[in-house]
Amino acid sequence: MKKNLLLVSVALSVFTVTSLTSFAQPKREFLRDNYAAGYNTSYNNATPKSTYSKNTDKALEEFATEQCSPVQFKFAQLLDREVETLSNTYLFNFIDEWWAVRYRYGGTTMRGVDCSSYTGQLLYTVYGTSMPRTAREQYKATSRVRKDELQEGDLVFFNTIGGVSHVGVYLSDGYFTHSSCSHGVTISNLNEAYYSRKFISGGRVVEQQKYEIVTEPEIIQPDL
């Protein structure tokens, strides 16, 4: 009797293991197939491939943000822009190197620089474009651009003491960088009352300029 019970017990054990194996196999195949099809297979919650792609894009965006430099974060805050949109790192590294360098009449170095020397050196270093030395000459060497059509790298000209007497380089959303008497190299906005009142027009380089950057002084209104 005991022998028969033992045989029955063994048979039931074999049947149970076989049944469980047969049940588990299709589940593994289902999960593997869904994974290959682009699904999230954790536990039993299958996520559609479209959601998977969105999650992937978000992860890539976060990764791109993490790769941004401190300079990009700094100027993203100043310009009120998403940090990933500041893709021209040459431009913002240049501005950062010159940041707060004092204004000096006729200056061309980091010991002091005037507005047209700063714009000339920026255009040459960042864009490979040579410009004449003074704001008036830079105005003549560019084509006119309306305020609402300005693009990154365009020049912006101002009438501060009569005629073209100040110049900066446009960035975006009304912001431009320039060498100011009161703040040195900085960023200002065309919508500020002073600059809005003094603005003449934008200037765009149509073709590669072949002018030498010389050291002729630039005249500028002292209260900029």
Task: Determine the pLDDT at residue 65.
Answer: 65
Give the C-alpha separation, 45 to 39, whole Å: 9
Task: Determine the pLDDT at residue 224.
Answer: 52
List 68, 166, 181, 183, catalytic entry: 166
Catalytic residue check, 178: yes
Catalytic residue check, 115: yes
pTM of the model: 0.67
Task: Determine the pLDDT at residue 50.
Answer: 45
Task: Determine the pLDDT at residue 67.
Answer: 83
Q: Is 169 exposed, middle or buried (0-12, 13-18, 19+ CB in 10 A)?
A: buried
Catalytic residue check, 68: no
Rounded mean pLDDT for each run of 10 residues along the chain, 224 residues in total: 46 44 37 35 39 48 71 96 94 98 97 98 97 97 98 97 96 98 97 98 78 45 48
